[in-house]
């Protein structure tokens, strides 16, 4: 079963002559165990696509299913819970609170979601896999860009979500670190059976993707 499904989704902004159609008749599915890449130029509608797929924004029309649940009519509070429980976000910047150590970033999640998070052993294993297990007591400003991004991935996975959504995760990274992030996402999809959806313009990530979609002028097309 698809963990993310968009059916005939349209999204427009504004009204009357100033109305802009950001997404048109989007039909899309993302499956567990797959790394799906969404490519497209700036202004193509891929960020709007991500916000709708991630339950951050409602479509103007159409239906969005997360893990089989239609989220179109959920309240803001229910959407908060859905994102907290089922979706991990890795964003371009401001992923981590600057005044919390790496360990405290996870403690914050424990405070709002006391049950269902990774056990201490599972977290240690995840941090080892991401090669950041030595950084627990460091603050984000003491980490490199790549380390910050890996901590953000660990933070996103801490709630054991079915879905990992990433927005331009390699934008601030050099080619070596960008490739490392691509390999991590591939590993997460394959080994942890996550649905990994990455929105990016970074074509270097193409080689790690199972499926690739391109969005242009609000319309989506599968290219791989």
Partner 1 sequence: MFLAIREIKHNKLHYGLIIGMVALIGYLMFMLVGLMLGLANENTAAIKSWDTQTVYLNKDANENLSQSLISKQQAGKMNSHEALVGTVPVVLRKTSGHEAKQSIQFMGLSKSQYIYRNKLKITEGRKPTKAHEIVLDESLKDKGYKVGSHVKLNSQSTTYRVVGFVKDAQLNIASLAIGSLSTWQELKGTSNQFVASGILSDRSLSASHHRQLARYSVNQFIQKLPGYSAQNVTFEFMIGFLMVISLIVIAVFLYILTMQKLPEYAVLRAQGIPVKTLVWGTLAEAIILMVAGVVIGLVLTFGTSLAIPAAVPMLIKWPLTLLIGCSLVILGTIGALLPVRIITKIDPVDAI
Question: Using CB under 8 A as the criterion, which residues of the chain lie in contact with partner 1 when the complex forms?
Answer: 47, 50-51, 54, 56-57, 77, 80-85, 87-89, 91, 93-95, 97-100, 104, 107-108, 111-112, 139, 155-156, 167
Q: How far is CA 101 from CA 6, 91, 160, in A?
A: 37, 18, 20
Residue 72 backbone zone (phi > 0: left; psi -120 to 50: alpha; other: beta): alpha
Distance CA 37, CA 54 (A): 15
Least distance CB 54 / partner 1 (angstroms): 7
H or E segment and range at residue 145: helix 145-157
Question: Closer CB to partner 1, residue 104 or residue 214?
Answer: 104
Structure token digits, residue 52: 């709708």
Distance CA 12, CA 25 (A): 11
Least distance CB 185 / partner 1 (angstroms): 18
Distance CA 197, CA 35 (A): 6
Least distance CB 77 / partner 1 (angstroms): 8
Question: Closer CB to partner 1, residue 80 or residue 174?
Answer: 80
Least distance CB 49 / partner 1 (angstroms): 10
Question: Closer CB to partner 1, residue 49 or residue 208?
Answer: 49
Question: Closer CB to partner 1, residue 28 or residue 158?
Answer: 158
């Amino acid at each position: 079963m698809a963990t993310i499904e968009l059916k005939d989704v349209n999204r427009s902004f504004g009204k009357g002559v100033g109305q802009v159609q950001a997404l048109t008749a989007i039909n899309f599915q993302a499956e567990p165990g797959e790394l799906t890449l969404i490519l497209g130029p700036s202004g193509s509608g891929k960020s709007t696509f991500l916000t709708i797929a991630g339950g951050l924004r409602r479509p103007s029309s159409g239906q969005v299913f997360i893990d089989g649940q239609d989220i179109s009519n959920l309240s803001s509070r229910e959407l908060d819970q859905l994102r907290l429980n089922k979706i991990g976000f890795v964003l371009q910047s401001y992923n981590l609170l600057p005044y919390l150590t790496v360990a405290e970033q996870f403690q914050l999640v424990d405070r709002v979601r006391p049950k269902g998070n990774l056990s201490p052993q599972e977290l240690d294993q995840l941090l080892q896999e991401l090669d950041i297990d030595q950084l627990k007591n460091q603050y984000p400003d003491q980490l490199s860009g790549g380390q910050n991004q890996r901590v953000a991935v660990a933070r996103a996975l801490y709630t054991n979500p079915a879905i990992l959504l990433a927005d331009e995760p390699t934008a601030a990274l050099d080619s070596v670190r960008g490739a490392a992030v691509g390999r991590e996402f591939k590993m997460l999809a394959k080994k942890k059976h996550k649905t990994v959806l990455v929105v990016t313009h970074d074509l270097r990530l193409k080689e790690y993707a199972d499926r690739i979609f391109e969005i242009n002028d609000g319309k989506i097309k599968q290219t791989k």
